[in-house]
Structure 1
Amino acid sequence: MIQGNLQKEKEDKIYKEALKEFAQNGYDKGSTNTIVKEAGISKGALFNYFKNKRRLYLYVVNRALKELEQVFLEDIKSVSYDIFERIAEICEYKVKLALKFPMESTITMEAFGVKFEDFQDELKSEYDRYVEISNKLLLENIDYSKFKEEVDVKAVFEMLLYISEGFSKKIMATYGSNYNVIMNNREKINKEFSRFVEIIKNSVYK
């Protein structure tokens, strides 16, 4: 992603300022002029290392995502054996993580939400890895004894994924990738999502 030799201190400074700019203004309105001014480098130097604004944005998204994943996987230790309780626990932890790392959460939310269609070729491998980690976290050590005998558990899980994906798209359509607006409405969002999950739970549990 980075071209040439870039000192760690300078790289971290560029990342910090680019993260702030893209988190506050999004990709389309994010200004490389502001980034180079705050980072204390020339625009020529910036594009020497990152070629263009698109490459810089992808670098910031990938780095922010990896940092969030690392914290998430290190901190979330104990989760319920009940799949529905586990979903609620993971969602709640993700909210806490977003509150702790608002800029990283905002830019990854934009990249995998409203801007994903524009960047899906470059971000596909990261998205697939995210899905794989999420699936493993959701399905590992689940208590399947609570399900009715005739229930196809795999189909239930796929249904939950479809609902989550569709609900995420609905949130993006309603609030865009505005992190502050989403956080201010999180109780309403959680209540609506829980209603859908509860319907499935009552249908498949004994």
Structure 2
Amino acid sequence: MDDRYEKFESLSEERQEAIVNAAVEAFGKSEYKGASTEEIARKAGISKGLLFFYFKNKKELYVYLIERLTDMMTKLVVDEAFYEIDDFFELLAYAANSKRAVLEKIPHVLDFSIRAYYPEHKDIKDTMDDWTQRQIDYMFKTYFKNVRFDKFKDEVDPKYVLNMLIWMADGYMHQRRSQRRPVDIDDLMDELNRWCEMFRLYAYKEEYL
């Protein structure tokens, strides 16, 4: 986090959680434009004026939520066992299962995350698109540092494989959204496992299959 959020982060953890939970619920239930800052403040037990004392506008609050939830998810997923895994696809499966366990426990975070990944309002679209790409680049450099890339065929780029998996998950969620169906985490995990196995057969040298 940076100095923009110093006032907010000087609050007690309990007060911070109340505001964060209210905001995640509002942005999870509604698109960015439709989420009411007045309702967020009311549910958090503060005035709207005080909410904007901590965050200068709605966009800053939204970006803060993204950064805070990403940090929280990272701390819960990237543990000692995570860095002991040196297989690309096993690491993806471990991270995905850990994230699923977290998402199932925290109300509205999944809906909020999906809406954030597909921003529609002009105020946040460019910001979120840039942020998402930076996260993918950072994730690859940081979280895959112990992976044995020598298992990959010489002509296969591991980062391209990661991008392909992201694109496939993106297509899955786009289809769900276009059909106005909720994302089923269990179904998505089953699909991810199938995709990983398919790409493992394509990407790995024969001796590692």
Q: TM-score range by the shorter chain?
A: 0.7 to 0.9
Fraction of identical pairs, as percent: 22
Q: TM-score if structure 2 supplies the norm length?
A: 0.73
- Deviation larger for 58-67 or 41-50: 41-50
Alignment of 1:138-153 (within 5 A): 138-142=144-148, 144=150, 146-148=151-153, 151-153=154-156
Deviations 1:40-62 (A, max 9, x none): 22222322332322222222222
Give the length in aligned residue pairs. 196
Amino acid in structure 2 at the alignment position of 1:201: R
Residues 3 and 87 from structure 1, CA distance in 2 versus in 1: closer, same or farther, beyond 3 angstroms? closer
Alignment of 1:1-206 (within 5 A): 2=4, 5-6=7-8, 7-9=10-12, 10-74=15-79, 76-77=81-82, 79-111=84-116, 113-115=117-119, 118=122, 119=124, 121-123=126-128, 124=130, 127-129=133-135, 131-142=137-148, 144=150, 146-148=151-153, 151-153=154-156, 155=157, 157-176=158-177, 181-183=182-184, 186-187=186-187, 189-204=188-203, 205-206=205-206
Where does the alignment leave 5 or more consecutive residues of structure 1 unmatched? Answer: none
Contact 1:114–1:172 (Cα < 8 Å) also in 2:
no
In structure 1, distance between residues paired with 2:197 and 2:132: 31
Shift of residue 79 of structure 1? 4.8
In structure 2, distance between residues paired with 1:106 and 1:27: 12
Where does the alignment leave 5 or more consecutive residues of structure 2 unmatched? Answer: none
Q: TM-score if structure 1 supplies the norm length?
A: 0.74
C-alpha RMSD of the superposition: 3.3
Aligned residue for 2:182, secondary structure, equals helix
Runs of 4+ in 1 over 6 A off after TM superposition: none
